[in-house]
Amino acid sequence: MNHKLFNRILFCPLYSSPQKLQILFFLFLLFVSYSKFSAQQDVKKTQINFFGHIEYDFDALPTSNNSYFSLGEQDFFIVSKLTQRISFLGENVIRYDGKSPSFFIPSIERMQLKFDYFKNHSLVVGKMHTPVNYWNDVYHHGRFFFPTVDRPIAFSYLVPVHTLGLRLQGQNLGKIKFGYDLVAGNGISSTDFADSGVNTSAMAGVHIKPIDNLRFGISYYYDFIQGNVSGIHSGHATATHQAIAAKYKGNINFELFSVSASYFSDKFEFLNESCLNKSGSDSLGIAMNMSNYTYIGYTIKDKITPFISYDFIDISQKDVHVGHLSRNKLIAGCRYSVNHLMNIKLHVGILSSNHTLFNSHPHNSTPNSYEFKIQLAYGF
């Protein structure tokens, strides 16, 4: 309480002692009520959530069968409204890493400040998901929100999952809800602390939402990968890349074109994402790589959503960054929403390292493999 106001009331000759006490008591109640209201408002400005998942996997591989339970990523998700125009988003994950003594390590997946400088236009600075497609822009590491058990295969080989830098963003502009993203920052070869080169990665993307629940997007990403190094911002499969990088240590011109179409309503769910990658080197020249992911789901009785997905990736024999591979994955599964805090997903899948699934031709070098997964995902 303001001490000057307190003195004026206490020593004012116009009020009797009981009146002074009543006035001071009333002001005290106002002060306490205002303090509680302010505290409640501050609490509402910061929201902390936790997401995680547990899985059971059965892998029927050509050479052996594996059956095991798995503790997945445990995700601490924080958002806070610092001012009317500035907000904070943080995502810290404890995830499996076979290299560390304890096998689980903490990882900063996102740490960003957003400044809404004019209407629906914003400036974002920090570590963010590179908005090259719908999946990477919309979903975070909480599997609770995933429509399926796993991410698309391209996230392990082609998609630059993170960028540490600056992002200019516009959302829901005009009647078709036009949006844009311009991103520059540390690229594929960098870490969260530094980058070994002077070149920054660059990305430009646009999308529209002409009707409710429907979104079309297209993007272009470029990075100069010095020394053929994949840092922590890349989704490139670590073991595969390390083997390739040991053989070729030259520079890579990396370009990624992405197109996505999505429709998610209360009943019907659809997502298709395609990537075309040009990977240029002084060794074998231009390698043209591509991937496509299709997901379809339909909700029955509000809680049960059967789904199917087909995932395809083909990396050229000329590629010296990821390495030649061709994979197909066909999935049939179901998602059951227990409530708004928990869901259960299961699927059966067939995987092939050749161009055609169900191909029993004797010239195939790698037989098909099969998998069964059950995932319990939660968030609160």
CB 52 within 8 A of CB 75: yes
| Cα 220 to Cα 178: distance, rounded to the nearest angstrom | 17
E-strand stretches of 175-213: 178-186, 201-208
Chain centroid offset of residue 122 CA: 19
Neighbours of 54 (CB within 10 A): 15
Query: Per-residue pLDDT tens for 192-211?
Result: 888 777 789 999 999 999 99
CB 144 within 8 A of CB 379: yes
| Cα 59 to Cα 371: distance, rounded to the nearest angstrom | 4
CB 252 within 8 A of CB 227: no
What does the pLDDT profile of the chain (380 residues) look like in tens digits? 455 554 554 455 544 554 445 555 545 544 544 444 444 454 458 999 999 999 999 999 888 899 999 999 999 999 999 999 999 999 999 988 776 666 888 889 999 999 999 999 999 999 999 999 999 999 988 999 999 999 999 999 999 999 999 999 999 999 999 999 999 999 888 888 887 777 899 999 999 999 999 999 999 999 999 888 887 777 766 656 666 776 788 899 999 999 999 999 999 999 999 999 999 998 889 999 999 999 999 999 889 999 999 999 999 989 988 888 899 999 999 999 999 999 999 999 999 876 555 444 444 456 889 999 999 999 99
Decide: helix, strand or coil at residue 159: coil
| Cα 291 to Cα 153: distance, rounded to the nearest angstrom | 8
* Superfamily (CATH H level) for 48-379: Porin (2.40.160.10)
The two most distant CA atoms of the chain are separated, in Å, by: 107
Query: Per-residue pLDDT tens for 109-167?
Result: 999 999 999 999 999 999 999 999 999 999 988 999 999 999 999 999 999 999 999 99
